[in-house]
Amino acid sequence: MIEVEKILSQYFEVYSDKETLEKYSIDYGYLSPLLSSIRKIPKAVIKIKDEEEIRALMELINEYHFPIIVRGSGSNTLGETIPIKEGTIIVDITGFKGFERRSNYLITRPGSEFNEIGIEDLPTIPTSFYMATIGGYVAGGSLGFGSLRNGAVWDNVKEVEVYTPKGFFSLSGDDVYSVVQSAGTTGIISKIKMRTVKRQGKVKVIRRSFTSLVNAIDFSLKILDDAEFISIRNKQMAELIEPNRKWDKWNVIAGVYGEGEEASLKDLITTFAGTYFTAVNKTKVNYNSLDIPLEKLNYIEGMKAMISCELSKSRNKLFSHTYFLGYDKLPEIEGYSFNLHSYKVNDRVEADRLKKMIDFKRKVDEDDLLNPGKLVFQ
């Protein structure tokens, strides 16, 4: 047992058997051959269950200078909890639970699972809600069911508390951008305050087919105010997801308040809104995504690929989070790239939020001990 493991064993239960280390060396980034190829086997795994243990861990990190990755359930598909540096200690926070609802807010510890919290009043819900922790979603997530109406996860987190090598910070307002979606590179989250919402009623599914993408976009804009989600899929993608239906060149599948097919909220999230993970698993073809301004979405008309356009909002801006499967070349569109095969946070965060992360990283972790290599900041 190396020195760091001996030191940690005085404060935590340390797991270093081969089976455990293998399990914690990968997350759902296994979908990407590129992400899978860079992983390192961690040195050890420890499990955190309260704030006092986080404080103790940070003291040890400062004294002995070892790298860590904080991990929830490992449902992230971007390799954010895959170790890429030798000697990394994995910090499992799934035991650090507890939550309450107070005055239209959810106040929660990072290890609380969506299944424990309940999803009915959450503003945005990841497609992996059935196994994900809320801390993992806040640290590494972005969009989800409800993002069209309520914005991205960073629009809905109002306060976040974090421990860093330079101490404890309670962040609010735009300062939460320093931590939300930073993949744990800027601190260990100990508490989250997220707004809750009251949905208008039962969300029902509608489907409409069109001969052109422009017509599909126009229809989507007409139903925008009544929709919780809108997916525009070309025929190839629509047939893959629901093969027993008749589809045209472009198709709108939406969850709306009004007339439509009844479905449970869980089915809405996993079957109708969450196509990307299902489609990649089914096809095993190449895949990636782009965030495309809606006014330029028609540029992808005629592209040879399976395409799903998930309409979303971030900081009140409407765009299409667009997935491409089985493509020869991604379209060159002035928009924002969201690289599904990069472990770097820099490759999926817009410039002003990224600057918040980098500035905070330089302030609290200049030695890059928190999820090292995932945020380029030097």
**Per the structure, how many domains does the chain have?**
3
Residue with tokens 């039962």: 202
Q: What is the pLDDT of residue 235?
A: 96
DSSP calls for 177-242 = GGTTTSTTSS-EEEEEEEE-----S-EEEEEEEESSHHHHHHHHHHTGGGEEEEEEEEHHHHHHHS
Tell me whether residue 375 is in a domain.
no
Kindly report, residue by residue over 297-343, the tens digit of the pLDDT.
999 999 999 999 999 999 999 999 999 999 988 888 776 677 888 88
Cβ neighbours of 30 (radius 10 Å):
14
Domain endpoint, select from 92, 111, 139: 92
Identify whether residues 276 and 357 lie together within a single domain. no
Residue with tokens 């899978």: 36
Rounded CA-CA distance 226/302 in Å is: 29
Q: Which residue stretches of the chain have pLDDT < 70?
A: 1-2, 271-275, 335-336
Identify whether residues 358 and 305 lie together within a single domain. no
Tell me whether residue 371 is in a domain.
no
Rounded CA-CA distance 363/378 in Å is: 12
Kindly report, residue by residue over 129-182, the tens digit of the pLDDT.
888 999 999 999 889 899 999 999 999 999 999 999 999 999 999 999 999 999
Domain with 258 in it: 203-334
Tell me whether residue 285 is in a domain.
yes
Q: What is the pLDDT of residue 306?
A: 94
Q: What is the pLDDT of residue 274?
A: 58
Identify whether residues 86 and 175 lie together within a single domain. no
Q: What is the pLDDT of residue 278?
A: 74
Domain endpoint, select from 69, 92, 115: 92
Domain endpoint, select from 39, 66, 92: 92
Tell me whether residue 244 is in a domain.
yes
